[in-house]
Structure 1
């Protein structure tokens, strides 16, 4: 079977042939008088040579351009890598049902074959040679394999969009430090803000550039009054957010706090179970007395036996008043008898507990408050040991400025904005949540996990009560910082149907395994991401994981063979030369090439479609508010 094969990046030999033909044509014209052939034949021959030279020259030019386009062209100019915020807004308005992620092309087996030709036949390090004099300032300084993006003709490059319904399946952004994750997030966030949707950005490190990008997008879109900023390092400027405001059932608040406790057995730890039971009892007690649960109120009740006893007394007394009409007179009589007693006097709490068990419990028991009674009667020393893992977390979240920021209703004299996640979503606001994990990783992680749990509750409400209206766009930078807690996985698993679009940025796949404690749970997180975008990657395991998630293809190569033989005692010999066109399996995009990706260039798997693209920088400049 005959097959044609040609190296597309070979030297342009056609130039030599074209040059020879031009020289021959000129020679014929120069020697017209000495040539014995008729004039018409000589001119016709010269014209034929010039025409053939033109054809061969054009063929050679195409070969030359194939190599030149690897590193030169309009797409590599500085102005092509930047974009005005107003232009991003215009793209969002023209494509209200799509997310624009840059320019590029669909990556196919053809590009993989071209990549192999470059790697096999050319020196990659010499592809980007010195620029012509005077052109250095025109091109951006780019490191990495810039030639990969040049494998596709410039005229075929087009805008790359992700349909918004596909984002309900969530999006993973993977890239090493300074590879372009924040640039991508800024681009996606600006479009969500322009669409008028709810945007929540969780940034563990509190990147000031990302925060500024979000605020600029709000100002440009005329939504400056909807921008809400939370940051523990700037309590005097930060909004105050209550992470316990939203709940469907009382047990959710206990679970929200208990999920912060480190456990070696994924929730089966006895200390976690005991702490959750104690939290549930205290929250029930606070609600019974009409006090809104807050981190400060819960901490006070758990760390002080006297406060726990006072809460138990008030909660049980309030319930008994509503459950038994004769209870007030019984209580007052018991108080008076206790006051007159000459023996050991009982506390008011013990008296109320006795009345509840004797007169109320037989007909109208309250299992929630019985849990509170059980906690109050538990030996104090053992109770303290069992919640020893919980109290340090509550201490951290209620100490210093965090007390005002996370328990806002406890401080009524503070004038700064007080809001909760439910209001953020209902009013389509834009929340930037800086966690300041660089200063205090544990506190930042706990704050992030609590708000993720709050978001999971809101997702459940939208499911249960049919309040699914506008979508919620959740962007999480450094996802592993807050991904170590169960609410994070719950959001990925179940929030898509509640119109949550989650975009997570991480540096390596191993970040999830390290945060969650095992690879199985990391795989569970990755399995909930329907699409991914890979920027430059330095981790070999991450490179291999993403390459393995792409379809396999085949590449061709030419096998050259030669041989010779001779017969004993004879001067005869045989020789042969041969070429065979071979195929071998290959990764659609080589794993090692992820490590050579230029900044802000990417390979993406968008719900099964493989694309190669580049992300534009949004210019940083003064923004005028939209009219």
Structure 2
């Protein structure tokens, strides 16, 4: 049975369905032909109720096994639009997940054992469908449409491909009962490190955080300042930030700084404001090297700029 024990085996045939079938047949006979079981009609009715109750319990256990086996091979679809992202004043929404415990380590270890391979790896029909899609891509017209049928991403298609999100379904599938995971905003004063291979969702996680930060308001009802450094230059992240800023009514506060696109980039005057006139020459000459023979050129530049700044002021 699918119960919570210290040692459990969920990658197995759902043998509970045999008990469910026997209970359903016994309940049917108890109602329709109680004489076949040497029962009176009144006792047959009570027996049918007992058989149905026990069959329901066993059916629930069988569904746990079937659901676990399904999630190990293919995760259920989880889609959230930008409007549905929860924005809290106390917590930061991260996504769906669970607390990792010893039983999850045991379940994950079982998925790599040879005897459980047929429950984890894709089925032969799934692999055949992917192989046909590759071969029929350049086939003539009637056959080329067949590849679209197997790749049709709808729930009624049992052979539709996995979503292009990367990762291993078994990492989430070992816990069918996932919950919303959030982080207290007070904990964000510390550093957070997100590790992962290419195309596993690191930038999309950053989009989720930035979306909440742009739309969040403080206790005074004012929006917070959000600064994003993106050395990779992801275009989707830039579009997401602009869309969220416009949705929150902050498009007039949206600035982009990119040296490669001066037409769209915001500009900063490094010498527009200063306390002393000599600061102008220091900021400009500070970009030159001051070591070795370069020191003389740096001093010349500083004096030249300082004279021009004094004359302008």
TM-score when normalising by structure 2: 0.65
Q: Which residue of 1 aligns with 2:84?
A: 87
Q: 2:19 aligns with which of 8, 17, 37?
A: 17
1:71 touches 1:128 (CA, 8 Å); kept in 2?
no
Taking the aligned partners of 2:300 and 2:41, their CA distance within structure 1 comes to 119
Taking the aligned partners of 1:297 and 1:36, their CA distance within structure 2 comes to 100
CA drift of 1:175 comes to 1.8
Q: Which residue of 2 aligns with 1:210?
A: 237
Q: Which residue of 1 aligns with 2:208?
A: 187
Q: Which residue of 1 aligns with 2:282?
A: 293
CA drift of 1:6 comes to 4.1
Residues 28-39 of structure 1 mapped to structure 2, 5 A cutoff:
37=38, 39=40
Q: Can you give the 5+ residue segments of structure 1 that lack an aligned partner in the other structure? A: 249-286, 318-408, 413-627
Q: 1:308 aligns with which of 296, 299, 308?
A: 299
Taking the aligned partners of 1:309 and 1:70, their CA distance within structure 2 comes to 70
Matched, 1:172 2:173: no
Q: 1:104 to 1:288 in 2, by over 3 A?
A: same
Q: Which residue of 2 aligns with 1:96?
A: 89
Q: How many residues end up aligned between the 2 structures? A: 266
Residues 93-492 of structure 1 mapped to structure 2, 5 A cutoff:
95-120=88-113, 121-123=115-117, 124-126=120-122, 130=126, 133-134=156-157, 140=163, 143-154=166-177, 157-195=178-216, 196-241=223-268, 289=278, 291-295=280-284, 299=288, 305=296, 308-309=299-300, 311=302
SS at match of 1:161: strand
Q: 1:146 to 1:309 in 2, by over 3 A?
A: closer
Residues 504-523 of structure 1 mapped to structure 2, 5 A cutoff:
none
Q: 1:221 to 1:11 in 2, by over 3 A?
A: same
Q: Can you give the 5+ residue segments of structure 2 that lack an aligned partner in the other structure? A: 127-153, 217-222
CA drift of 1:83 comes to 1.6
Instruction: State which structure, 1 or 2, has the greater radius of gyration over its C-alpha atoms.
Output: 1
Q: Which residue of 2 aligns with 1:374?
A: none
Q: 1:181 to 1:242 in 2, by over 3 A?
A: farther
Post-superposition Cα deviations, 1:8-31, rounded to whole Å, max 9, x if no partner, equal 333222222333454566678888
Post-superposition Cα deviations, 1:425-478, rounded to whole Å, max 9, x if no partner, equal xxxxxxxxxxxxxxxxxxxxxxxxxxxxxxxxxxxxxxxxxxxxxxxxxxxxxx
CA drift of 1:298 comes to 5.1
2:20 touches 2:59 (CA, 8 Å); kept in 1?
yes
Q: Which residue of 2 aligns with 1:372?
A: none
2:73 touches 2:169 (CA, 8 Å); kept in 1?
yes
Post-superposition Cα deviations, 1:498-551, rounded to whole Å, max 9, x if no partner, equal xxxxxxxxxxxxxxxxxxxxxxxxxxxxxxxxxxxxxxxxxxxxxxxxxxxxxx
RCO higher in 1 or 2 (8 Å CA, sep ≥ 6)? 1
Report the structure, 1 or 2, having the larger strand content. Answer: 1
CA drift of 1:63 comes to 3.1
SS at match of 1:299: coil
CA drift of 1:231 comes to 0.9
Q: 1:98 to 1:54 in 2, by over 3 A?
A: closer
SS at match of 2:20: helix
Taking the aligned partners of 1:57 and 1:32, their CA distance within structure 2 comes to 24
TM-score when normalising by structure 1: 0.35
Residues 570-585 of structure 1 mapped to structure 2, 5 A cutoff:
none
Q: 1:242 to 1:289 in 2, by over 3 A?
A: closer
Q: 1:210 to 1:43 in 2, by over 3 A?
A: closer
